[in-house]
Amino acid sequence: MNASQQQLNGDHWNDWLASECPALLVRGSCSTVLSAEHAEDMAARRCHTRLVELPAGHTVHESVPDEFAAAVNEFLGSL
């Protein structure tokens, strides 16, 4: 768990910006891991990225699975 948490820290911009494939970035509006500002910056800096915020913490897929699935299905349907 500690090693996993440590991987959250650092500069991951090169990895994030290395692809121009369409991306869905799902953020929980109550997340304490990914701020709204950082998520917006991520979406703005990478082409073809759609940002969706759902009413949840960081584990959106667990907290609001139906809303998460709907967002993923809508994104995949748009490709």
pLDDT tens-digit series, residues 26-71: 999 999 989 999 999 999 999 999 999 999 999 999 999 999 999 9
- Name the residue among 11, 53, 1, 7 with its Cα closest to residue 30: 53
For residue 4, is pLDDT > 80?
A: no
pTM as predicted: 0.84
For residue 9, is pLDDT > 90?
A: no
How far is it, in rounded angstroms, from Cα 12 to Cα 41? 13
How far is it, in rounded angstroms, from Cα 48 to Cα 22? 5
Q: What helix, strand, coil percent values describe the chain, rounded to 5? A: 50, 15, 35
Using pLDDT thresholds of 50, 70 and 90, give the confidence band for residue 7. Answer: low
For residue 15, is pLDDT > 70?
A: yes
Contact residues for 39 (Cβ-Cβ < 8 A; gap 6+): 25, 27, 51, 53
Q: What is the pLDDT of residue 2?
A: 66
How far is it, in rounded angstroms, from Cα 2 to Cα 20? 31
